[in-house]
Structure 1
Amino acid sequence: MKKILVTGADGFIGSHLTETLVRLGYDVKAFVYYNSFNSWGWLDHCADDVRGKFEVFVGDIRDPNGVRSAIKGTDAVLHLAALIGIPFSYHSPDAYIDTNIKGTLNVLQAARDFDLSKVIHTSTSEVYGTAQFVPITEEHPVRGQSPYSASKIGADQIAYSFYTSFQTPVITVRPFNTYGPRQSARAIIPTIITQILSGKKEIRLGSVSPTRDFNYVGDTVRGFLSALNASQGFGEVVNIGNGFEITMGDTAKFISEIIGTTITIQTDEARLRPDKSEVERLWAANGKAKQLFGWEPEYKGLDGFKKGLTETIEWFKNPENRKGYKADIYNV
């Protein structure tokens, strides 16, 4: 596989993945979302060693003609384009169906028509809902506790159906909670970091009791690459997770300790999910990724988490990197 299309290349994980693919010598086409500012998202701020070394395709994942045009001439697609903000999915669920389900269908149709050698479809740990058992294996039931997670379940099933119906070479990668440089402020870790670095001592958060399995972005990128290069796993769902859980409250505590400050946490009612929609516990089983792909996290366990937090905080400490963040408001 030489020519790789990355959808959602302008986003947090997609931009890191695009940079890594370029460095590894792949011919990369980056699918970015059309906008009147001609912004390529985080690819506008990509590392100097990859700048100008990838092709950019500007389009909309919801448009089948544009997706076909982007996929034509490529060997494989890494499909990350999605709407991912859970609170916004309460407000605008239609947009999630159109983007996450229909967008995935567009990718699969084009991949089938052009006989691509591999489709890596991106799922999310949110599809599991609150853990019914831990660690969560790929056999755990799925439960759409938000319109976002429901849309991703639908996208996952569309991907699987193309494998079973048409032998489309699909692998579904299911990352747990990825964090790191460039993550948007709608996520918990950038929310905490940006509030502290803006000088706040009282941090406004939602519920701090839920647990998450945090995966450093470099490990998530390696998970995608391992799936891309694997000779097995077609038709399978594979967790990409660290293999440990930590509460939101303890996460805030470790961030404040690394930065070297003392904080108090104030519950912001606007940031709370509806009771039955909150995913209370996530903790990944990652043995299948090791078995099929030879992947395991480098930023492993609590020590790896602290290392990843330190690197993330260092990136956010640069005022230039924080220019687009709005620490004084709730980022939906």
Structure 2
Amino acid sequence: MHHPSDLSALAGSTVLVTGGAGLIGSRIVAQLRVLGARPVTLCTMSAYPERVYADLFGVHVSDPDVVLGDIRDTALVRKLVSDSDYVIHAAALADVAACTREPLAAIDTNIAGTQSVLDAVAATDRIRRMVFVSSASVYGDGNPEETDTPELLTMRQLLESVLGRIPPQFHEFTRRRPVSVYGNTKAWGEEQTSLILGQVGTSYAIVRYFSVYGEPQTVKPNSHSWVVAWFAARAHLGLPLHLNGGGRQMRDMVHVDDIAEGTLRALVSPRAHTETVNIGTGIPTSVRQVAELVREHYPNTGFLDTPLPAGDPLGGYAATRRMENILGCKPKVTVAQGVARYVNWLRDTPAAAPGWLRESTAA
């Protein structure tokens, strides 16, 4: 008798993971292998230098189950989907700043690419479930006026006049109000998943990731995502930490191990059928608090207040009751533990602080 979200149900199955070479995808793939499933990775592997995929993420193009390709290649996607039992669609242009700079690229990958995957899944009756990977960015900054009672709203306004902004808790039924191109493409993907797969009766689940971090995450130029990796890498090199907007933005920092487990549980839990579920910790952490946790490991680190980038939400934190009830899981890694793990990993893997960041330091 299987537990409602017993991961052993995946043993012997083939799972297509789009974007499976990235930080989250590679962790999902590793967990699938441990469970006795056959994960097939489809990825362009263009987000990082090849050595990052091989040396940090453990993904090798020589692996026959790693397919170098694009989700917009409809014939390729259809072939891979037709040979699979499950699909996790995690491939995306996932960098908020890159999507803001190049909205057409975001539309191309996150909308046209998602449609390609959905068409392939809808065309076969073999897929037991598809999980669409979404993001807390669909909530934007939230709007408490829509969910608070008049009494609560008055209390919130009074508290905020004294304490400053109180971060909202995002429930799955909170109205989506994305403030970035990236968030907008994810909101579209959610609607399109339920529309296309609902019409043909294919089971699906939607997971909304909050702020993912954890080793072996590594930073990319001109990006303001992945705050733990940025802060730790800069502190490691003796650079000041840039607190965009003073670091007052709130994030629900969730470790990649907990993200991977939640995603796999969404793949098998009977109760997750057609549901949308947050994957977070339920604890708000400010960007400044993350900087302070990093500084505990690098005591001489300085802080520098910098402007808030376009499309960077003030944020909030996850309501996690549905995650616990539907997926049967709770996050295991606290932010303090996760930051310590990342710092220790970085000290053991100094090459993970990228060359271009070292060069900018030298300059």
Give the whole-Å Cα distance in 2 for the aligned partners of 1:307 and 1:320.
22
Give the whole-Å Cα distance in 2 for the aligned partners of 1:127 and 1:328.
36
Report the equivalent of 2:306: 268
1:252-293: CA deviation from partner (whole Å, max 9, x where unpaired): 011110x14132221334xx323xx43112110011011111
Distance apart, 1:24 and its partner CA: 1.4
Is contact 2:16-2:86 (8 Å) kept? Answer: yes
Report the equivalent of 1:104: 114
Is contact 1:205-1:265 (8 Å) kept? Answer: yes
1:326 and 2:357 correspond: yes
Alignment of 1:83-232 (within 5 A): 83-115=93-125, 116-133=127-144, 134-185=168-219, 186=223, 187-200=226-239, 202-207=240-245, 208-232=247-271
Letter of the structure 1 residue corresponding to residue 179 of structure 2: Q
Alignment of 1:10-29 (within 5 A): 10-29=21-40
Give the whole-Å Cα distance in 2 for the aligned partners of 1:66 and 1:31.
10
| 1:99 to 1:327, Cα distance in 2 relative to 1, 3 A | farther
TM-score by length of 2: 0.81
1:236 and 2:275 correspond: yes
Is contact 1:15-1:43 (8 Å) kept? Answer: no
Letter of the structure 2 residue corresponding to residue 195 of structure 1: R
Distance apart, 1:135 and its partner CA: 2.0
Report the equivalent of 2:72: 62
Letter of the structure 1 residue corresponding to residue 331 of structure 2: P
Report the equivalent of 2:148: none
Secondary structure, counterpart of 2:293 in structure 1: helix
| Higher gyration radius (CA) | 2
Letter of the structure 1 residue corresponding to residue 173 of structure 2: E
Distance apart, 1:322 and its partner CA: 3.0
Give the whole-Å Cα distance in 2 for the aligned partners of 1:289 and 1:264.
37
Letter of the structure 2 residue corresponding to residue 314 of structure 1: N
Alignment of 1:20-59 (within 5 A): 20-33=31-44, 39=50, 42-43=53-54, 45-46=56-57, 55-59=65-69
Is contact 1:19-1:47 (8 Å) kept? Answer: no
1:164-208: CA deviation from partner (whole Å, max 9, x where unpaired): 3221211001111110013232321111111110122x2234221
Query: Alpha carbon RMSD of aligned pairs, Å?
Result: 2.4
Secondary structure, counterpart of 1:297 in structure 2: coil
Alignment of 1:260-299 (within 5 A): 260-269=298-307, 272-274=308-310, 277-299=311-333
Give the whole-Å Cα distance in 2 for the aligned partners of 1:8 and 1:79.
7
| 1:142 to 1:324, Cα distance in 2 relative to 1, 3 A | farther
Distance apart, 1:39 and its partner CA: 3.9
Secondary structure, counterpart of 2:332 in structure 1: coil
1:79 equivalent among 89, 97, 116 = 89
Secondary structure, counterpart of 1:123 in structure 2: strand
1:39-69: CA deviation from partner (whole Å, max 9, x where unpaired): 4862554559x99877111110122122112
Unaligned segments of structure 1, at least 5 residues: none
Is contact 1:30-1:54 (8 Å) kept? Answer: no
Give the whole-Å Cα distance in 1 for the aligned partners of 2:281 and 2:301.
27
| 1:75 to 1:324, Cα distance in 2 relative to 1, 3 A | farther
Is contact 2:56-2:216 (8 Å) kept? Answer: no
How many equivalent residue pairs?
A: 318
Secondary structure, counterpart of 2:271 in structure 1: coil
Give the whole-Å Cα distance in 1 for the aligned partners of 2:359 and 2:45.
28
Distance apart, 1:94 and its partner CA: 0.7
| 1:54 to 1:139, Cα distance in 2 relative to 1, 3 A | farther
Is contact 1:119-1:169 (8 Å) kept? Answer: yes
Give the whole-Å Cα distance in 2 for the aligned partners of 1:114 and 1:120.
16
Report the equivalent of 2:149: none
Report the equivalent of 1:9: 20
Report the equivalent of 1:310: 340
Unaligned segments of structure 2, at least 5 residues: 1-9, 145-167
1:7-64: CA deviation from partner (whole Å, max 9, x where unpaired): 10111101111111111111111112166x994862554559x998771111101221
Is contact 2:238-2:301 (8 Å) kept? Answer: no
Letter of the structure 2 residue corresponding to residue 198 of structure 1: L
Higher helix share: 2
Is contact 2:204-2:274 (8 Å) kept? Answer: yes
Letter of the structure 1 residue corresponding to residue 309 of structure 2: R
